[in-house]
Structure 1
Amino acid sequence: MTVGRTDVHFESAGVTLRGWLYSPPDAGTPSPAVVLCTGFAGTQDTPSIVAAAEAFARAGIAALSFDYRSFSRSDGEPRQLVSIEGQRADITAALRFLKGRDDIDADRIALWGTSLGGGHVVTVAADEPRVAAVVSQIPFNGFPRRVEGRPASANRRLLWAMTRDALRARLGRPPLYIPAVGGAGELAVMASSEASQTIRGLQSETWQNRTAPRALFEMMRYKPGAVAGRVRMPLLVCVGGRDKESPEASASELGEKAPLGRVLRYDVAHFDFYEPEVREKVLGDQVRFLDSVLLTAERTP
């Protein structure tokens, strides 16, 4: 089945965001839709995001992917800077964009997010009661106290990089960038042998392995689980049993606190979710979940 893809753009607090709208092969109008939210320093043209969008579109659900402010083809300065509040505002703007389209059913729009985006979709949904469903994949729910395999010396180097970059921000100077993903012991936001091996799965025309570490201070105060109990729509949380970046117990909390939450566990690590074999299995479960919420009622006489 051929999935259509159209370039789109919309505004978020005066910043132009650019995305792709994937249309179902035989879409009726108005159709249900899902907004796809990338992970830390992620871009919409990485293979896992494209695969998810195409899978949902083939299932009859229009999919909107987009790049957050300061990333990829979207506007915003400084570049490669993760902003928790800014990205949440961007997701809300994406919802508003879809709700304003004649070919989308405003009452059947879901949110899907992975890693940091998996935390974002929970916090946005807590304040957006018209969201029909939420899929949160290996969600960020606060930094773990200790990342297995990451030496204390690496944590000290990262903290020093964060501090230097935060001081540069106060002085109005450009970021002092570090890699977003690196090998075990390297200076990077996510540093492990698994992360390093998975960089190839993040490659795209626009993805850059660099980020402004000043953002991590804001992330240290970010705990999506604190508002998960206010998520009133169906919520599916997909977690990894061997996840070191978003540990299973912490990530599962989002689904356990939500009144209509459900947790699916997979015996894999964090970055395995972006590998084709695991991704296919997980997306199959996610498609069935969204089908049950967004499409099954439509087919019922």
Structure 2
Amino acid sequence: MAQRVEFSSDGVRCIGYLRSAGAQPAPCVVLCTGFGGTQDTPALTATAADVAAAGYHAVTFDYRSFGESDGEPRQVVSIEGQLADIAAAVERARSLPNVDPARIVLWGTSLGGGHVVVAAARDHRVAAVISQIPFNGFPRRVQGRSAWSTLRLLAVMAEDAGRAKLRWPPRYIPAVGAPGELAVMTGPDVQNAIAGMDSATWRNQAAPRGLIEMMRYRPGDVAHLVTCPVLVCIGTEDAEATPQNAAELAHRAPRGELREYPAGHFDFYSEDLRRAVCADQVAFLRRVSGG
């Protein structure tokens, strides 16, 4: 049974859930979602449950303006805002009963996989990092997106950024769409992606203003500052977090390790691959942090 926890991040109330490993002091894994993700999506809840079953406390949470957390306007990705939310979640985890505050592990997927590297570069008390299909800058060419589609996306990004300056409501677009559709992420496996994300709070909706911030965001630039062990799990067929960009996090981290899987980005949320990857991640946890 997951226990609800609350914490404040820059004055915004964030909601999370603790899955406990029991009454003995144990490490705690803080799980961070990807772009537009929420903590109740099936793959994230399943991984949190597997981590807890392996003997670790597991904390999931929603970033500001997503899921159960407060924050307006809704469905807006803020890089610095989400990094502040992760730092606040880590501090909340350190205060929880039976959590060993010296053994906090960060786990992140997609955009969250990039975030956890940056968060650990800023907080050297983090004991270990697991970065799954991490964002480390946009690929030069996006599968399923033509030059015309790219121009349309850039135009709506500029429009939404202008709306932000005027304090108008966002100009929302789908987070995941089919090839040729105006969406943040596009690809032929869009229906499988949406099915894998389906939950009570997830919305296939995003404010494109957040992409402007992401254009300048490269977690690999600070990976060399991460002092703890880092496991980076990538897909060799990933068109969103390309293998070249994602692997850079492992190569630049002083204690980085790389594991490759013959899979695309959204395959990591299918149950069979998710379980196999999670087993490797738990083995890494046992090796570097005990439990």
Say whether the fold is shared (TM-score over 0.5).
yes
> Which residue of 2 is the match for residue 83 of structure 1?
78
Match of 1:269 among 264, 269, 272: 264
2:2 partner SS: strand
| Structure 1: distance between partners of 2:180 and 2:191 | 11
| Structure 1: distance between partners of 2:122 and 2:97 | 24
> Which residue of 2 is the match for residue 11 of structure 1?
8
Deviation of 1:281 (Å): 0.6
Deviation of 1:5 (Å): 1.1
Deviation of 1:82 (Å): 0.3
2:189 partner SS: helix
1:199 partner SS: helix
Match of 1:152 among 130, 140, 147: 147
Match of 2:49 among 43, 50, 54: 54
| Structure 1: distance between partners of 2:210 and 2:143 | 22
Bigger shift: residues 111-120 or 139-148: 139-148
Deviation of 1:172 (Å): 1.0
Match of 1:22 among 19, 24, 32: 19
| Structure 1: distance between partners of 2:35 and 2:216 | 16
Deviation of 1:184 (Å): 0.7
Deviation of 1:294 (Å): 1.9
1:227 partner SS: helix
- The CA deviation string for residues 82-135 of structure 1, in whole angstroms up to 9 with x for no partner, is 000000000000010011223210011100000000000000000111100000
| Structure 1: distance between partners of 2:134 and 2:35 | 11
- The CA deviation string for residues 214-239 of structure 1, in whole angstroms up to 9 with x for no partner, is 11000001000000011110000000
- The CA deviation string for residues 229-285 of structure 1, in whole angstroms up to 9 with x for no partner, is 111100000000000000001100000111110000000000000001111110110
| Structure 1: distance between partners of 2:28 and 2:105 | 6
Could you tell me whether the CA contact under 8 Å between 2:131 and 2:233 is conserved in 1?
Answer: yes
Bigger shift: residues 197-206 or 98-107: 98-107
| Structure 2: distance between partners of 1:164 and 1:203 | 28
1:35 partner SS: strand
| Structure 2: distance between partners of 1:278 and 1:114 | 14
Could you tell me whether the CA contact under 8 Å between 2:144 and 2:178 is conserved in 1?
Answer: no
Match of 1:229 among 224, 232, 241: 224
| Structure 1: distance between partners of 2:178 and 2:78 | 24
Map 1:193-232 → 2, pairs under 5 A: 193-232=188-227
Map 1:110-125 → 2, pairs under 5 A: 110-125=105-120
Q: Which runs of 5+ in 1 are unaligned?
A: 297-301
Map 1:43-192 → 2, pairs under 5 A: 43-192=38-187
| Structure 2: distance between partners of 1:288 and 1:23 | 19
| Structure 2: distance between partners of 1:245 and 1:295 | 33
1:65 partner SS: strand
> Which residue of 2 is the match for residue 285 of structure 1?
280
Percent of paired sites with the same residue: 55
Q: TM-score by structure 1 length?
A: 0.95
Could you tell me whether the CA contact under 8 Å between 2:143 and 2:186 is conserved in 1?
Answer: no
Deviation of 1:196 (Å): 3.5
| Structure 1: distance between partners of 2:5 and 2:146 | 44
Deviation of 1:153 (Å): 1.0
Deviation of 1:150 (Å): 1.7
Structure 2 letter corresponding to 1:277: D
Structure 2 letter corresponding to 1:17: C
| Structure 2: distance between partners of 1:285 and 1:173 | 45
> Which residue of 2 is the match for residue 299 of structure 1?
none
**Where in structure 1 do 4 or more consecutive aligned residues deviate above 4 Å?**
none
> Which residue of 2 is the match for residue 239 of structure 1?
234
2:104 partner SS: strand
2:287 partner SS: helix
| Structure 2: distance between partners of 1:148 and 1:17 | 34
Deviation of 1:197 (Å): 2.7
For the aligned residue pairs, the C-alpha RMSD in angstroms reads 0.9
Deviation of 1:148 (Å): 2.8
Q: TM-score by structure 2 length?
A: 0.98
Count of paired positions: 291
Q: Which runs of 5+ in 2 are unaligned?
A: none
